[in-house]
Structure 1
């Protein structure tokens, strides 16, 4: 993970790190390279989940104090600023959310104020031969709003994400019918990007085992949507078709927080020290 998260190029004359594996969309300028790599670095980051745990939290001011605020998919800030903040520096977006992003472009794109957008998806969706659905939409987005900072995760980088999941969990993503979640991509990108990460709205991995756990909506902006723990458990237990392994991923994040500068708020928690009875967790960490 150390090699993965720090695999960046840096020049003393530059203010930010060049992050490998995140090419930009083709530039419209004749004087710029066609694929400009992402160049970014933050001393402190607020990684804001889309969890219903943020409702009523009043964490907005704390979130906006971070140098960089990272959000996922089409999670809005308008109308929720007191709880989730108003600032957005980076938004990590799944291929399945791109149409919602385009439909809500007045809020999520036009009002981005210099935010960076990183899109991820299967390699077939990122093809540059006219058949890549996501890539075609990103080109259209670049033409309509050329000032946007739009990037994608390269095929090679996607394979690195798969390999990291296998090393950290012992599970092959494809064999186990697993789709890595946007949260997985976002946390790992944050480790490349940020010196300190404050995560808002992420529960510990055993949270849903407690029969008295607080019931909240999966998305704070969909109060009538599915229950968060119901979603986590159904995906974790699912064997037919592809599923996210939300709880497995959170166990990995818990391990990473023992090594890296990651802190959890709303709910507030920190990983317990590892005991001698769990050597396998030590190996993962």
Structure 2
């Protein structure tokens, strides 16, 4: 029979162990609370859909690397061993570039055109499935699928990602998360608010594959927009959409891209166009075409140029293996040859 003194020591050790576990649990809770509070403060004053001012000075001008794209229908060359390394997408914890390559990709938009489409099974058959921001799959799997390989997320969507972390983060099953944002918020010298919060989130959830777009790469995205549209992003008060980043990343990542839910650029000009919600998961939200047209015509303040971007995507689809479904459409061929300017190499 153990002595009372031994029992007391055992009880003391158990009590000490319990206090230690409680302190660790409290530390995690405080870290999550701090992160969420700072994000709420940052985005509460700006608005979920609003833009953040970027630094006024651009220290260096970086041009995207031009390359001659393959002809329509031509297969991309087989990647050598060790290829698939995508520079400019940096892991938050290890600061290493993303290594990823897919033969076939389903790029799933957040459009209301996907409601009732029953495209989920077809989407999940793709090698890689790419989604945007906080677009959910739970409850919508029949229409949008359940698989997620990559999620491209705007800085302004982090609050909603955290709010739905049980579905979008904890159930990621190896998905890669790429966050983009203005350079001032993504700097790695301790002054980048978004980057600091991504680091904290990744430390608490180390199994997540969290990446950010580097400043150098962000300048390339700006240069690409100017080359493809002839418009300077800042002068025209334009904010590149998450769709712009996602499509361009997909062209670096995928050999074949099937896009689901993206309308052609002239869709909203038709007075009899189908009216659908801007987001499939917000059925009572704004109308898609109303959102597109108001942003395209907006001049005061910064706006997304959704229709302009879709004209670029239409043009890319004449060269690269990009196909559009729900609605199903393909670009009409143009006379002559396409200029050499192309998406990021």
Larger Cα Rg: Structure 1 or Structure 2?
2
Taking the aligned partners of 1:116 and 1:13, their CA distance within structure 2 comes to: 21
Match for residue 77 of structure 1?
A: 137
Taking the aligned partners of 2:65 and 2:312, their CA distance within structure 1 comes to: 14
Say whether residues 1:21 and 2:88 are aligned partners: yes
Alignment of 1:37-116 (within 5 A): 37-116=97-176
* TM-score, normalised via structure 2 length: 0.75
Cα distance, 1:134 vs. partner?
Answer: 1.1
Cα distance, 1:131 vs. partner?
Answer: 2.4
* Residue 303 (structure 2) aligned to one of 235, 243, 249: 243
Taking the aligned partners of 1:109 and 1:41, their CA distance within structure 2 comes to: 22
Q: Which runs of 5 or more structure 1 residues have no equivalent in the other structure?
A: 27-33
What number of residue pairs does the alignment pair up? 271
Q: Contact 1:197–1:263 at 8 Å: present in 2 too?
A: yes
Say whether residues 1:178 and 2:245 are aligned partners: no
Secondary structure of the 2:246 match is: helix
Secondary structure of the 1:198 match is: strand
Cα distance, 1:284 vs. partner?
Answer: 6.5
Taking the aligned partners of 1:60 and 1:177, their CA distance within structure 2 comes to: 36
Say whether residues 1:122 and 2:189 are aligned partners: no
Q: CA RMSD in A?
A: 2.0
Q: Contact 1:47–1:70 at 8 Å: present in 2 too?
A: yes
263 and 188 in structure 1: CA distance in 2 versus 1, 3 angstrom threshold: same
Q: Contact 1:94–1:182 at 8 Å: present in 2 too?
A: yes
* Residue 270 (structure 1) aligned to one of 292, 314, 330: 330
Secondary structure of the 1:239 match is: coil
* TM-score, normalised via structure 1 length: 0.91
Cα distance, 1:283 vs. partner?
Answer: 7.2
Secondary structure of the 1:258 match is: coil
Q: Contact 2:67–2:340 at 8 Å: present in 1 too?
A: no
Taking the aligned partners of 1:271 and 1:127, their CA distance within structure 2 comes to: 39
Q: Contact 1:93–1:117 at 8 Å: present in 2 too?
A: yes
Secondary structure of the 2:271 match is: coil
Cα distance, 1:129 vs. partner?
Answer: 2.7
Say whether residues 1:190 and 2:250 are aligned partners: yes
* Structure 1 residue ranges (4+ consecutive) displaced by more than 2 angstroms after TM superposition: 1-6, 10-14, 281-285
RCO comparison, higher one (Cα < 8 Å, 6+): 2
Taking the aligned partners of 2:267 and 2:340, their CA distance within structure 1 comes to: 23
Taking the aligned partners of 2:216 and 2:323, their CA distance within structure 1 comes to: 29
Match for residue 135 of structure 1?
A: 195
Cα distance, 1:36 vs. partner?
Answer: 1.6
Q: Which runs of 5 or more structure 2 residues have no equivalent in the other structure?
A: 1-63, 70-77
Cα distance, 1:275 vs. partner?
Answer: 3.9
Taking the aligned partners of 2:171 and 2:127, their CA distance within structure 1 comes to: 18
Taking the aligned partners of 1:58 and 1:105, their CA distance within structure 2 comes to: 26
Secondary structure of the 2:259 match is: strand
11 and 259 in structure 1: CA distance in 2 versus 1, 3 angstrom threshold: closer
